[in-house]
Structure 1
């Protein structure tokens, strides 16, 4: 029944069905676990004072910088289906440490534990989501990604709805601390999906390329073994990015996205901090925003994402979010109040999750595997956190100059305009790369 629905309604081909279902469940579990924890992170960040948020962004950047070479070193030495469970189970172990400490500490020590958790979850989010999409970009071809990534992303949206709802409903029942354990269960379920998904990716690729599944694995292992560079290739992501105008364009797109997101984050922190006094009320508000975002995201993914990406193309899809961002910041500039903030956040984040994130991940299906595992990880983590860091410093500086929330919002409008131009260029660049690859394939076929 499910197979027929996927094939007839959602354009999933028969040999792709198992991989798509497992990818959907994997993303569901991953984001359910994260969104259980996300409202707790936001509340813990505010508990230490809004004025201290900028330096926590700097701490997150430093932690990310330290983790990039470690991840690259691991990517050199472990196959993807081995590496991902290691990453997630290490995160589960660390989460259990936070759970124990949260029950033992109080007062100022508890505030510092909250700050540590804030940085930890921010880094975890970057790496966990990045390697998920790297895994998928490596498993699905470019033509498959345009049809299927929106559907897979819907699994994450559904998981985010469930995770945010769990926090909103259970925070007063079992307490904030014990939600750590619930999140850990979902992360372990994600590990089980990875273990099964690897086999289905190999089988699907064998059918696509008309070769034996064993040969698919041998080719991947031989390619991974050829990766060279400092720390076993761990630092190659920087060089690969700097040598490629295409990867630099993706970096610029993500950097400006992160910069605008940080401006909006601080607008949100200030407005919600003023609107709510208790920690529980703030955490509940953050959870409700997450649920609203992901309900709209899920509806968009199920009804519109695939159609929009196929009909509009990647470039036009990528420019949607900068347009929404410019309009939203202009609205905040006129009226920096809670209602405008919530509407802007919901529309912006939903369009990002439903349309822009799948479209941006599609950009990586036209690069080499080494670029996916190294350059992509560098871009998704360090470049993204670099935008965070600059955005937090800029917002803090503008605040110190005496600008209010409305005036700072207007500063972000032209930044969104430049961001949109980069998105248009990336769409055109990818189209030309795909056409060149297809032409090369046709030439080889004719020659043979």
Structure 2
């Protein structure tokens, strides 16, 4: 009975990658810098016993630069603590870390690569931070949608821009359009004053327009919010991503084409433009996403892949540059891992990984080019080291071998290292 679960801890990097200099990210390290700030500000060593038992701390030790590890060790020593009080010895599962070969450090690139299809082309970007969208593009959008004008038109944090333009948006009914360092066109609108269906329709029209252009923009993202003024504006869980299709068949396509099921939890279906997805479940918040994953584990049949994205690590803590909130969310998630183990059948395999980094202590509010962890849990696997993997696509190739579908063009399977001899 083949069943697998992937939990993507969205943005949970474990150390700047070998090519981080190209991205200006040398020194970024989501996990270690969270741990450092948590210790400095709360005088607490981040407590992750379940992730630690799966090898997280050993992964971090291997993927973190010597200088960063020494600095953290010294921080602890200055407060009469030792690195051993932070470090957990691996006792179960398999563990390693993966480098990204895709050209970008965005969400689709990371997910597509882990599904066996790295992005080896360059996305288009809106690089002008002050006027991101050209007058011609704004005019084309107005002609396409019938909405004459936009607000924003800049690089911005999603929470900051609704505070800046939310009240004007309610009065004018003009959508708030903005972008970031990723290949995205983001559209914020009030669920009641603009209308959720109206927002989705507007995003679909912009997606269609951009797809017909030569701009090569990866995603249009609907960012609905509620509230009456800047003191009450809050983004809701009704986000929707409108992505272009992956450039070729992913392992998800191959599993579904072979008669298996791919169950999307969270924004996975959106990231893959709903291709290769059998069942879609939306949920808001880490607890709800974990609950939905557990619910599917109770009923999923053989040859099922449950694929869950825990977006809140990224959108609530990484982009918002909140290392303390990130640390506390990690500790809470860690406590819930045994609940997932309890629902796993003997042959099930759980994979935990990430799609990129988003170091909440790093300048700006964008993703960071980092290695990501890969941890695999099965009731029988005990502390197997997977080492440094050359591509996120190693996970996709492992899934192809597990589900016995045609191998992917990229990646090296580590399935044999997960098989316990009889």
TM interval, short-chain normalised: under 0.3
Q: Output the TM-score relative to the length of structure 2.
A: 0.22
Alignment TM-score, normalising by the size of structure 1: 0.21
Higher helix share: 1
The structure in which a higher percent of residues are strand is 2
